[in-house]
Amino acid sequence: MKYEIIVVGGGHAGCEAALAAARKNHKTLLVTSNINNIADMPCNPSIGGPAKGIVVREIDALGGEMGRNADKGALQTKMLNTKKGPAVQALRFQSDKVTYPKEMLKTLKSTKNLEIKEAMVENLLVEDKKMKGIELEDGTKINADAVILTTGTYLKAVVLTGSKKTPSGPHGEKESKFLSDSLRKLGFTIKRLKTGTPQRIDKNSIDYSKTQEEKGDSVTHTFSFDNIVYRKPEDQISCHLIYTTPKTHEIIKEHLNESSMYGGYVEGIGPRYCPSIEDKVVRFSDKERHQLFLEPESLYYDDIYIQGFSTSMPPEIQDLMVHSLPGLEKAKILKYGYAIEYDAIDSKQLKRSLETKLVENLYTAGQINGTSGYEEAAGQGLIAGINASLKLEGKNPLILKRNESYIGVLIDDLVTKGVKDPYRLLTSRAEYRLLLRNDNADLRLREYGHQVGLISEEKYKSFLEKKENIKSLTELLQTTRITPKKEINEYIEKIPSTPLKDGISLYDFLKRPEVTLENIKHFIEINYTNEEQEQVEINAKYEGYIKKANKEASKMLSLEEKNIPEDINYEEVPNLASEARQKLSEVRPTTIGQASRISGVNPADISILMVYLRRNN
């Protein structure tokens, strides 16, 4: 048996990796422990959110699957941060936990060059630091030129509730017992991370009169640039908002030491950005209440997910906690919350292509790299799939820059800074977030998607048309002028805006904060799509800021162009602080720009390094 690329794991990273490899015409095998669990959403029933939603758009722009699939499974759609600027707006969908995996499996099965195998991988076959294939639990060996590990939380997974520790993957799935040992033997540093999930409640046992309804938007949204709407706004499913009570906090405080976390049963480091309810109560003890969302998981069964209530308390305490919540006094708990511990590798042992530094043609993506979140996993999976393929094709890897995409920010952070706790993308991690908007993901990345062969000619053509239309609409507004005539100024005062004193182009007029493209339509007819109009409007309105961001980005890029030789010996660079010397040797940055982002490497170290490089040139 021989494949070009094997993907180990069928979660969100694995699906994207396998699809990208197969679509790029490489004979691909996806190995998963349970075919019914492919593209499962073991935690929250939603996709997107600030920064994360933009990643989904980026995946779609590059030719990945998550955006399209999320559109198919949408239960409720929302644009977040609409009261803020265009840079931070992002989509979040409530997603059907039955439809999403089902549709993904359908896509995988209908993809040419892609086979799916149900098995547990327990060993990696490596010769001369080069990937040769995998070994299954039963000893079967399967050869491959490249392997992508997307093992999620399954490596030596242990589920914890209270003092009880059970070796198991999420929801009773089988865990991988030895694969992380195999990685350790190859020289990888293995870390222990932790995450958790809340209870699932029977929706028929909730008193909704004590909750506050949270509806979706009244307009349609799609993640994919295909713009196909599967759920009409009026058919959306609502979520419900409740708050913890003083009693809830009392119960938690009283039983704190019975939780896995506070009882000292957990070794792994949990995410700072998604704390358990125990953590919230302890760390923010001055807060009287915490917000919780009741989110429906699917149209096909009755589970309601309590977002914000993740816990590792023993079941009997969870009963007390849940019943202390308004509307949930008589709630029937279908699944208890738990914490899960798993092995991950040190992401600093990766190149920016997501290939490992230790083993050629071995790639990793998703939670094994220390991230959390479906979107972060899918983004990495797509890049790993693309780059494993490009490597086999003898081409340079696709490395997205920090000013081009959140995926680029994510991967650069992983390989440069590493992670201590599970990494979640935040808008504040991006220096140039004004450039990395929800609305322009295709303009930033579709070109790359086409280059690597994941965007069809037909889609590419319509993308080029869109670009052309944006340009021509911009020119139209720049060349059409309005003058301070009486009837024009009368209209302008009605907007209301300041009347003109001199002639002005419509483009400059649009720059006024109070003026919208709808106002411009009073003067000329505009036959462009909403997306095209939106681009022109954002470009005009935020021109100054966008220019500034581009200028900053070009400064960063100039440091990115300064390469550091691969064989540099940091012991030979005089005057470096010892911490910097150690960090640089560990990360081995490929450019000065990357080096400057390593924590513990100070500006002075960078200048010393540059002086050294200049001298030795």
Partner 1 sequence: MNDTIVAISTALGVGAISIVRLSGNDAIEIVNNCFKGKDLTKVASHTINYGHIMDNKEIIDEVLVSVMKSPKTYTTEDVVEINCHGGIISTKRILETMLTHGARLAEPGEFTKRAFLNGRIDLVESEAVMDIIDSKSEEANKLALSQLSGTTSKMIKKFRETLKQLLASIEVNIDYPEYHDIEVVTKNQVKTSIKDMKIELDKVIKESKNLTLIKEGIKTVIVGRPNVGKSSILNKLLEQDKAIVTDIAGTTRDIVEGEIYLDGVLLNIIDTAGIHSTDDIVEKIGVEKSLSMIDDADLVIVVLNNNENLTKEDEEILEKTKDKQRIIVINKNDLDKKLDISSKKLENVVETNTNTVEGIKRLKEKIIELFQLETIKTKDYTYLTNARQISLAKKAYQSLKEAEEGLLNDLPIDMVEIDLKETFDLLGEIIGETYREEILDHLFANFCVGK
* CA atoms 194, 162, 43, 292: torsion sign: negative
In the complex, minimum distance from the CB of residue 446 to partner 1, in angstroms, rounded to a whole number: 25
Range 364-388 burial, b when 16+ CB lie within 10 A, else e = bbbbbbbbbbbbbbbbbbbbbbbbb
**Whole-number Cα distances in Å, 37 to 8, 22, 173, 337:** 13, 20, 9, 19
606 binds partner 1 (CB under 8 A): yes
Q: Which is nearer to partner 1, 98 or 577 (CB)?
A: 577
**Whole-number Cα distances in Å, 384 to 47, 148, 149:** 21, 7, 9
305 binds partner 1 (CB under 8 A): no
Find the part of the chain contacting partner 1 (CB under 8 A) among 10-18, 80-88, 115-123, 477-485.
Answer: 80-88
257 binds partner 1 (CB under 8 A): no
In the complex, minimum distance from the CB of residue 492 to partner 1, in angstroms, rounded to a whole number: 17
**Whole-number Cα distances in Å, 2 to 113, 144, 158, 488:** 13, 6, 33, 72
607 binds partner 1 (CB under 8 A): yes
Q: Interface residues for partner 1 in 349-368 (CB under 8 A)? A: none
Of the candidates 437, 442, 435, 439, the residue with the CA atom closest to the CA atom of residue 465: 442
596 binds partner 1 (CB under 8 A): yes
Q: Which is nearer to partner 1, 144 or 515 (CB)?
A: 515
Of the candidates 152, 600, 599, 604, the residue with the CA atom closest to the CA atom of residue 413: 599
172 binds partner 1 (CB under 8 A): no
Q: Which is nearer to partner 1, 35 or 610 (CB)?
A: 610
Find the part of the chain contacting partner 1 (CB under 8 A) among 225-233, 374-382, 530-538, 603-611.
Answer: 603-611
Are 444 and 57 contacting, i.e. CB atoms less than 8 angstroms apart? no
Using CA atoms, how far apart are residues 91 and 58, in angstroms rounded to an integer? 12
Of the candidates 305, 102, 78, the residue with the CA atom closest to the CA atom of residue 196: 305
Q: Interface residues for partner 1 in 397-436 (CB under 8 A)? A: 426-428, 433-434
Q: How many residues bind partner 1 (CB under 8 A)?
A: 38
Q: Which amino acid is at 102?
A: K
Using CA atoms, how far apart are residues 564 and 595, in angstroms rounded to an integer? 9
Q: Which is nearer to partner 1, 186 or 610 (CB)?
A: 610
Write out the DSSP string of 263-286. Answer: TT---SBPPTTS--HHHHHHHTTT
Q: Which of 2, 84, 109, 395 binds partner 1 (CB under 8 A)?
A: 84
Q: Which is nearer to partner 1, 192 or 511 (CB)?
A: 511
In the complex, minimum distance from the CB of residue 498 to partner 1, in angstroms, rounded to a whole number: 12
Question: x/- string (CB under 8 A) for partner 1, residues 530-559?
Answer: ------------x--x--xx-----x---x
143 binds partner 1 (CB under 8 A): no
* Crossing angle between the packed helical segments 99-109 and 12-23, to the nearest 10 degrees: 20
382 binds partner 1 (CB under 8 A): no
Q: Which of 262, 293, 309, 509 binds partner 1 (CB under 8 A)?
A: 293
Are 529 and 463 contacting, i.e. CB atoms less than 8 angstroms apart? no
Are 586 and 408 contacting, i.e. CB atoms less than 8 angstroms apart? no
Question: x/- string (CB under 8 A) for partner 1, residues 477-516?
Answer: ------------------------------------x---
In the complex, minimum distance from the CB of residue 573 to partner 1, in angstroms, rounded to a whole number: 9
Find the part of the chain contacting partner 1 (CB under 8 A) among 76-84, 126-134, 201-209, 443-451.
Answer: 76-84
Where do we find the tokens 């998981």? Answer: 297
Of the candidates 202, 197, 171, 211, the residue with the CA atom closest to the CA atom of residue 303: 202
291 binds partner 1 (CB under 8 A): yes
610 binds partner 1 (CB under 8 A): yes
**Whole-number Cα distances in Å, 142 to 30, 134, 182, 412:** 12, 5, 16, 32
For 327, residues 6+ apart whose C-beta sits below 8 A from its C-beta are: 206, 207, 208, 209, 210, 211, 240, 242, 294
Q: Which is nearer to partner 1, 251 or 595 (CB)?
A: 595
Residues at the interface with partner 1 (CB under 8 A): 50-51, 80-81, 83-85, 87-88, 241, 287, 289-291, 293, 426-428, 433-434, 513, 542, 545, 548-549, 555, 559, 574-575, 577, 596, 602-604, 606-608, 610
